[in-house]
Structure 1
Amino acid sequence: MKDVTNDKATILVVDDTPENIDVLAGLLRDDYNVKAAKNGEIALKIAHLSPPPELILLDIMMPGIDGYEVCRRLKEDPVTKHIPVIFVTAKISPEDELRGLELGAVDYITKPISPPIVKARVKTQLALFNQNRELDRKVKEQTATIAETRQKVIERLGRAAEYKDNETGMHVVRMSHYSRILAVAVGMNEADADLLKAAAPMHDIGKIGIPDRVLQKPGKLDAEEWEVMQSHAVIGGEILGDDESELLKLAKLVALTHHEKWNGKGYPNGLAGEDIPLEGRIVAIADVFDALTSERPYKKGWSVEDAIALLEKEAGEHFDPRLVKLFVAELPKVLEVKASFSD
């Protein structure tokens, strides 16, 4: 990171001999911001300052912790591991050089130093550092784009099923966000909560396999039709298949379990209580709440108060009672999502 005051790169010189620091500082000062440390402990502290140095010139033979140990600590710390380290030392046997490179150093400069060599090596390593930093930025940018694209594809798969059922595309968006909110509230870590948010839109993908005469029937389903309707959970599991992807594994789990009920009277397998996977219990609440509060061609949306009253009434019957309490506690966040992704 460049110094905001003069746009020069910052170099940290570490040496227990003041004269050596003076020589290197004098050589580099015109082109770079130079900081100095007379021992390893001070060097580690400076490396953690903001902004950190972009290159460290490090002596090996120092009292206290030597240069090898300083380098090892720098490379083990996520905050400083990216900073390139050049050893500047008279200790330059092949074994010494190999040890330093194995610890993560990028180069060696021998004492007594040659000014042109020092300048050239510093310039080269800073150029590589900046090149790698830009590459890392682009990789992160591309990764974010890929993740965003994946999420959009997933949501559109979910919408394909919802359109057959007279739902809108916003249903799968809202309920996936509700699922994440509840997952975090119950103690799931951020990564797993994000994975559930990504998988939740595919909860009803099996509706693609349900005949329109059943799925879009305006009246009440008879016993045979209801049996056909219930099969969408199993169909969803079959569509998602047995894939090694963690996302698709979770999507299949959700598709198969989000219609199970706490009292064991759900489908397709009649699971009860905590035998129902947590993710399925979470999505069940998110799905029902959004379905109740959403307006459709065939019904008006319930008020939030009435929908919450239904969840609380069914706590211990349809829904996990602990999750219902957490959902109610997180209602302000839920309503923010509802307002942001309205139909």
Structure 2
Amino acid sequence: MSPLLPKQSILVVDDSPENIDLLSEVLRDEYRIRVATSGEKALKIVYSDEPPDLILLDIMMPGLSGLEICRRLKANPDRRRIPVIFVTAMSSIEDEKRGLETGAVDYITKPISPPIVKARVRTHLALYDQSRELEHMVKQRTHELLTTRQQIIRRLGRAAEFKDNETGNHVLRMSHYARLIAEAHGLGQEASEIIFNTSPMHDIGKIGIPDSILLKPGKLDTEEWKVMYQHPIMGAEIIGKHDNELLETARIIALTHHEKWDGSGYPQGLKGEAIPLEGRIVAIADVFDALVSIRPYKAAIPLNEALQYLESQSGRHFDPSLMEAFRKALPEILRIKEIYADENGALTDLEFHIKEIYDHKDDPKGYPEVLASTDGGLD
């Protein structure tokens, strides 16, 4: 490695100080070593602003096991590409198979052989570097395609609004709320932006609900609710299954945003973490905006009452850890609520950059100036 380049970073995760010392001794001449003696500490390092380039991970640890840590990393779009090598005393073929199926790139058994550890680390770091360079090239060449897909998703989300009786800016507000909750929960920029760009499609399935039910001014009867309960399935079918992460996330959100933490939701009755994270995030964003917004059939609920209701549903309707993220993000959520209020005009179609909003976030008097530049919004 050139002396002008910074050393690559390796995170060693093991509950045994002796094992950490041994691996550190083997690798410290060539790499910058960071260590964690628990799964919780390891995740904090991985989700920090300076994530490691590679992780050496023990499997058998108290608290979070190595397998669970690996599963969580591979479920996060911002961190799933970091190569994970299991270093463990679990040496059976079945153990190795399970570790590789979880997402690890390699499996080294203890007691370790220093030359093998060095060779495997060097190989996977080189592959990771190549992967990142290729990914950068692909991102540059597919930016226009991604932008087109985002616009299509927003247009379809808008189409669902025309079918429904919700207010014009609901989709815009709740997509910002979902992004803020995701960020407060610890998801990185890429994962949060994916949720922001796909959540407008959450109610696309309502296109398939008859107007007599969707626009009914009073309460729905049992048979009508049976039809309404189908709109998440319809939404998922409209979007379809895709290898593309953006469209697949949109499908997952459409299908799961009415599931509840305690298993009483629909259409599948999923419970707890069986509900995809994206669906759990959008559930909070969607319900909050519905509570505090005017509808043709109801008045807006006062903010304090809406917040009390959401708190009462923590652990029932909503994931308690995401409710904590919601509370953390609430000041910014309320800024979005003010800026995209329905009385300011229909801003759904406006190229209204969030950076401009945040430029004024410490100067409330600046908000009217930003809004004034829109001429009251585009109707």
**TM bucket normalised to smaller:** 0.5 to 0.7
Secondary structure of the residue aligned to 1:299 is coil
CA distance in 2, matches of 1:153, 1:302: 32
Whether 1:199 aligns to 2:216 is no
8 Å contact from structure 1 (residues 315, 321) kept in 2? yes
User: After superposition, what is the alpha-carbon deviation per residue over 1:183-233, rounded to whole angstroms, capped at 9, x for unaligned?
Assistant: 111111110110111110000100000000111111111111000001000
Q: Could you list the per-position Cα deviations for residues 159-184 of structure 1 after superposition, in whole angstroms to 9, with x for gaps in the alignment?
A: 21122221133111111111111111
Structure 1 equivalent of residue 293 of structure 2: 294
Contact 1:285–1:319 (CA under 8 A) maintained in structure 2: yes
1:188 aligns with 2:176: no
Backbone CA RMSD of aligned residues: 2.2
Alignment partner of 1:246 is 2:245: yes
Report the equivalent of 1:260: 259
Which letter does structure 2 place at the counterpart of 1:324? Answer: M
State the match for 2:228 in structure 1.
229
Do the aligned residues in 1 keep the contact of 2:218 with 2:297 (CA within 8 Å)?
Answer: no
Partner residue of 2:218? 219
Which protein has the larger Cα radius of gyration, Structure 1 or Structure 2? 1
Q: State the AA in 1 paired with 2:292.
A: T
Question: Contact between 2:229 and 2:267, CA under 8 Å: does it hold in 1?
Answer: yes
| Distance change >3 Å, CA 226–CA 289, structure 1 → 2 | same
What's the offset of the Cα at 1:307? 1.2
| C-alpha separation in 2, matches of 1:155 and 1:325 | 28
Residues 271-286 of structure 1: matches in 2 within 5 Å?
271-286=270-285
Q: Which amino acid aligns with 2:300?
A: G
What amino acid is aligned across from residue 228 of structure 2 in structure 1? M
Letter in 1 for 2:243: E
> Cα deviation per residue 1:11-47 (whole Å; 9 max; x = unaligned)?
xxxxxxxxxxxxxxxxxxxxxxxxxxxxx98xx69xx
- 3-state SS of paired residue (2:236): helix
Amino acid at match of 2:199: A
**1:159·1:168 contact (CA, 8 Å) conserved in 2?**
no
In structure 2, relative to structure 1, the CA distance for the partners of 1:152 and 1:301 (3 Å cut) is farther
Counterparts of 1:151 and 1:173 in 2: how far apart (Å)? 13
Distance 1:156 1:288 in 2: 22
Gaps of 5+ in 2: 6-138, 343-379
Structure 2 match to 1:332: 331
Letter in 2 for 1:334: I
Determine the C-alpha separation between the residues in 1 that align with 2:180 and 2:311.
18
**Counterpart amino acid of 2:261?**
W
Q: Tell me, what secondary structure is at the counterpart of 2:273?
A: helix
* Structure 1 segment 1-343 matched on structure 2, within 5 A: 150-343=149-342
Q: Which runs of 5+ in 1 are unaligned?
A: 1-39, 46-138
Cα distance in 2 between the residues matched to 1:300 and 1:218: 13
Q: Is the 8 A contact 1:237 1:253 kept in 2?
A: yes
8 Å Cα contact 1:260/1:267 also seen in 2: yes
> d(CA) in 2 for partners of 1:143 and 1:286?
30
> Is the deviation greater in 244-253 or in 163-172?
163-172
